[in-house]
Amino acid sequence: MECERGALRLSGELLRELGATTGVAFLSSPRVWKLWGSAIARGMGAGRGARTVLFADGEAAKTISTVEKICRRLAAIGLDRRGTIVAVGGGVVGDVAGFAAATYLRGVRLVQIPTTLVAQVDSAIGGKTGVNLPEGKNLVGAFYQPALVVVDPGLLRTLPARQFHSGIYEVVKYAVLADRHLFEFLENRMEELLRQESSALDWIVPRCIALKAQIVSRDERESGPREALNLGHTFGHALESLTRYRRFLHGEAVGWGLIAAARLAEAINWLTAVDAARIEALICSAGALRPIPRISPPKWIAAMRGDKKARGGRLRFILPRQIGEVRCAENVPERVLKSILSGLDRPRRAN
């Protein structure tokens, strides 16, 4: 792991430190590669002859079909078992490229160079890879650790504003689940973060990475403590699936999921009204979320039953007990859940 502003300049040296490789294939999206491809290929010693596999980086492209096309392209360019895949892009590119690396020739070396805030603080860290099915998000995948992750906050300067805001909701997730100090930092300095001031961004990115690394090191395959990272995701993944991955960016869906989790935790007396209001206010301070279309509670619940965290069709939620602490809740009364879901598209009432 290398995380610092300017880390991209070290990528070639870091790659060489991993040992010999018979070739490098860069997996990216057309837009990201146009912005950063030359610099990254040059920095890694590939130059103009870089072998690239480009694919769409929207959630709609996060499918088994896309992985098959990538693997066929890798075979065509002759990448062998001692080759290296370098994923350059956001969360979708990282997840798809990571799954391809895990399965092509039963596993080749993987390097992640995340270019979005969501990917830098979350999805590029921890070794979870996967693709979506019509029945739900990330239902096909593998745990596959990258050999190297290069995080350079300077890459975020070309990120569209909506994508950057989407990443902030994932940062809020970390604050709610494990870091009250980070939460207070965001409350006090959100405007600086929104302006991408380096003093704020360069403090937040490595802190989130350290939090995730600490959790993942205790539970690499999500059998216990790592489940905490799914805060907001049971709701968020359902929302993405119900809107066919076209209306919301992943972080935006997580933002709504955090609001739903806070309201549900308050409703079952796990969270005080004051903390629930603070969580919702912090999410809103990062920017207005796209409105939720009208979705009936039964449709919500059916979609959530397909979530990876469900057990025997029984819903399980990661919910905050206080800012900085979460627990897993089971057997939430359905009437309470329906009440939360039916009013999720309405603003919180002032106390």
The active-site residue, picked from 250, 263, 278, 308, is 250
The active-site residue, picked from 109, 165, 173, 222, is 222
Task: Provide φ and ψ at 169, rounded to 5°.
Answer: -65, -35
- Known catalytic residue at 106: yes
- Known catalytic residue at 233: yes
- Known catalytic residue at 165: no
The active-site residue, picked from 73, 237, 278, 308, is 237
The active-site residue, picked from 132, 230, 240, 316, is 230
The active-site residue, picked from 212, 278, 308, 316, is 212
Q: Find all residues with CB under 8 Å of 67, minimum gap 6, and list them.
A: 96, 99, 100, 103, 131
Query: Which amino acid, residue 99?
Result: F
The active-site residue, picked from 51, 62, 73, 128, is 128
- Known catalytic residue at 331: no
Neighbour-count burial of 291, counting CB atoms closer than 10 A to its CB (0-12 exposed, 13-18 middle, 19+ buried): exposed
Do 233 and 257 meet the contact criterion of CB atoms below 8 Å apart?
yes
> Rounded to an integer, what distance in angstroms lies between the CA atom of residue 98 and that of residue 67?
10
The active-site residue, picked from 51, 109, 173, 233, is 233
Q: Characterize 75-108 residue by residue with b for buried, 16 or more Cβ atoms within 10 angstroms of its Cβ, and e for exposed.
A: eeeebeeebbbbbbbbbbbbbbbbbbbbbbeeeb
- Known catalytic residue at 250: yes
> Rounded to an integer, what distance in angstroms lies between the CA atom of residue 36 and that of residue 150?
14
The active-site residue, picked from 173, 226, 308, 316, is 226
The active-site residue, picked from 48, 106, 294, 335, is 106
The active-site residue, picked from 59, 170, 227, 280, is 170
Q: Could you tell me which of 118, 117, 139, 116 has the C-alpha nearest to residue 129?
A: 139
Query: Which amino acid, residue 20?
Result: A
Q: Which residues are catalytic?
A: 106, 128, 170, 212, 222, 226, 230, 233, 237, 250
